[in-house]
Amino acid sequence: MAWDWEFTINEVLPQLMEVVYITISATLVAYLVAMVWGLVLAFARRSQFRPLSVAAYWFVQFIRTTPPLVQLFFIFYVLPRYGIALTPFVAGVLGLGIHYSTFLSEVYRAGIESVPKGQWEAATALNFSPVQKWKTIILPQAIRPVIPVMGNYLIVMFKETPILSAITLVELLGKAQIIGSETFRYVEPITLVGIFFLIMSYGASLLFQRLEMRLDLSKK
């Protein structure tokens, strides 16, 4: 089957454009969930209060070692039985966000552990409160070296968004599939989706590279 430019530009592209924002917003919101919840998990893991740190440990282990699709099905199909009915978008960003939060929590942990002990001591000596210590001294230094890894997870998660079509959220790939099943032409929509992911992922990685360079202390 030959590539049909007219079909591509007049039909596939506009229809895909309608759902691009879903893929992008799902990625960004899910990533926000992952960043925030990941930090919460990292703190819980470090807690002096044993039960909390143990609970966080097992939560991370459990979520990390089970497929995100199972977690999504659980949130979308099982939770409503217990009175928690979520829209596909909310269920999707929660599912993906929580799944990736477990990876990010480990990334944060590595970053936090890379901050030298002397920094904590200097912060204590200057009488910063525990919250100020984290906010102004420790986290800014902990995040910097792990920015490339965090960027990597954003891209991995972005590429994972097509699984959201499994819980009826029509994003790019889901839309392409619909176009294909309606027109019996799969080449153009699927190819466009691939190109779209390529452009976005590459763009995101360039952004993270620039961010990394801007924050690189050795270049100051």
Partner 1 sequence: MSAEETQTATLEKEEETQGTEKKEEALPIVRYRKVSKSFGENQVLKEVDFDLMPGERVAIIGPSGSGKTTLARLLMTLEKPTSGTIEVDGRQLWHKEVKGKLVEANEKHLHEVRGDIGMVFQHFNLFPHMTILRNLTEAPVKVLGLSKEEARERAMGMLEKVGLTDKAKAYPANLSGGQQQRVAIARALVMRPKVMLFDEPTSALDPETVGEVLDVIKEIAAEGEMAMMLITHEMSFARDVSDRVAFFDEGCIQEQGPPSKLFVQPESERLQSFLSRFNLGEENSQ
In the complex, the residues that contact partner 1 under the rule CB under 8 A are 116, 118-119, 121-122, 124-130, 132, 136-137, 140-141, 144, 217-218, 220
Burial of 102 (0-12, 13-18, 19+ CB in 10 A): buried
Dihedral, 217, 27, 103, 80 alpha carbons, nearest 10: 150
- Backbone torsions φ then ψ of 128, nearest 5 degrees: -65, 145
Q: Nearest approach, Cβ of 146 to partner 1 (angstroms)?
A: 14
DSSP annotation of 108: H
Q: Nearest approach, Cβ of 123 to partner 1 (angstroms)?
A: 8
Give Cα 59 distance to the centre of its chain.
18
Q: Nearest approach, Cβ of 130 to partner 1 (angstroms)?
A: 7
Closer to partner 1 at the Cβ: 2 or 125? Answer: 125
Which one, of 79, 68, 38, 40, lies nearest residue 166 by Cα?
A: 68
Q: Nearest approach, Cβ of 121 to partner 1 (angstroms)?
A: 5
Closer to partner 1 at the Cβ: 52 or 190? Answer: 52
